[in-house]
Amino acid sequence: MIDLRSDTVTKPSLAMRQAMAEAEVGDDVFGEDPSVNRLQEKVAELLGKEDALFVPSGCMANQVSLKVHTQPGDEVILEYGGHVFNYETVAPSILSGIQLHPLPGVNGVLTAEQIEEAIRPPAYYMPRTRVIELENTHNRAGGTIYPLDGIKSIRSLAERHGITMHLDGARLWNASVATGIRMKEYAKYFDSVSVCLSKGLGAPVGSVIAASKEFIATARRYRKIFGGGMRQAGILAAAGIYAIDHNIGRLTEDHANARVLAERAAENPFFSVDLATVQTNIVILGIRGKKLEVETLIRKLAERGVLVSAGSPGKLRAVTHLDVSRTQVEEAAEILSGFAA
């Protein structure tokens, strides 16, 4: 079975497990886990922020960050296909008492102009626009990269309006490797950034929030409140450190593999593939031919040996990662190009 459902399906390699087994640990609720501390310092440095906090998941990284940014009754502007809006179980309303204000982007990307129009006037009976949240790369749009110039314009708009910015950078590594723009260059336009170790980098668990010292001190309180205070978490942090040290550069292979997959699938009139959106490791397959339920299609592809997942409504998503080789990708590409319902 060639598993292209997500880059979250990777399993820790032997060398990563070795690093985990040998990790120095301590009680992280007391701030005494040397491996967790090392990972946090490493990510803070990589993102050019004062401090960082290890959390169990990407969802928690986003939710803790939004909690720190907002008060109940506040509103967050984000893109309609964003992870926080679609796949985080309404957590912002449940945990922070805030409202999301989604705007339709082009390939997941919003412009400063459309955000400006959505900012609420300061009337006491309206929500208070507090945060702009962007996602880079944008998962549901197909791993698309936010243009840096666009981010800069949004930042200056946010500053003019006294609005803070959060980046869901679950796959910021992919954006950085694909463009050559350093992680800290992307990060400097945001007050808080979350990155995931458990996606393309192949760690089993974990995300990191990077921000100012003050922000992280408050985030640490909310991490505890949300149940994310872990004890000898160094065993997990060691996997994250290993992932950062060994698995960033190789993301170019995943990107090249996604392109192979997309180009071959595009040869099949059954699928519609927008090659311009295949910028990193995600391929969105529209269905042009005989209309089949996405679930049926997923089953039929699984019968032929390829696992994909559901993308936005009526679409399939295939994600390349470090546990699928070029040979397997070519095999999957062959199956997609010859697929007939």
- Using the rule CB under 6 A, is 37 a contact of ligand TLP? no
Write down the least CB distance from residue 270 to ligand TLP, Å: 24
* 139, 277, 281, 320: residue in contact with ligand TLP (rule CB under 6 A): 139
Find the part of the chain contacting ligand TLP (CB under 6 A) among 37-45, 56-64, 67-75, 271-279: 56-64
170 binds ligand TLP (CB under 6 A): yes
Question: How remote is the C-alpha of 62 from its chain's centroid?
Answer: 10
If one asks whether residue 294 binds ligand TLP (CB under 6 A), the answer comes out as no
Toward ligand TLP, which CB reaches closer, 198 or 268? 198
Q: Does 312 bind ligand TLP (CB under 6 A)?
A: no
- 87 belongs to the binding site for ligand TLP (CB under 6 A): yes
Tokens encoding 178: 């694909």
How many residues bind ligand TLP (CB under 6 A)? The answer is: 14
Q: By C-beta, is 37 or 137 nearer to ligand TLP?
A: 137
By the rule CB under 6 A, 135 interacts with ligand TLP? yes
Is the dihedral angle over the CA atoms 129, 131, 132, 138 positive or is it negative? negative
196 or 236, CB closer to ligand TLP? 196
Instruction: Tell which one of 49, 67, 69, 83 touches ligand TLP (CB under 6 A).
Output: 83
Interface residues for ligand TLP in 231-260 (CB under 6 A)?
none
168 binds ligand TLP (CB under 6 A): yes
- C-beta separation of 279 from 237 below 8 A: no
Out of 4, 49, 58, 216, the residue judged to bind ligand TLP by CB under 6 A? 58
Residues within the interface to ligand TLP (CB under 6 A): 6, 8, 57-59, 83, 87, 135, 139, 168, 170, 196, 198, 207
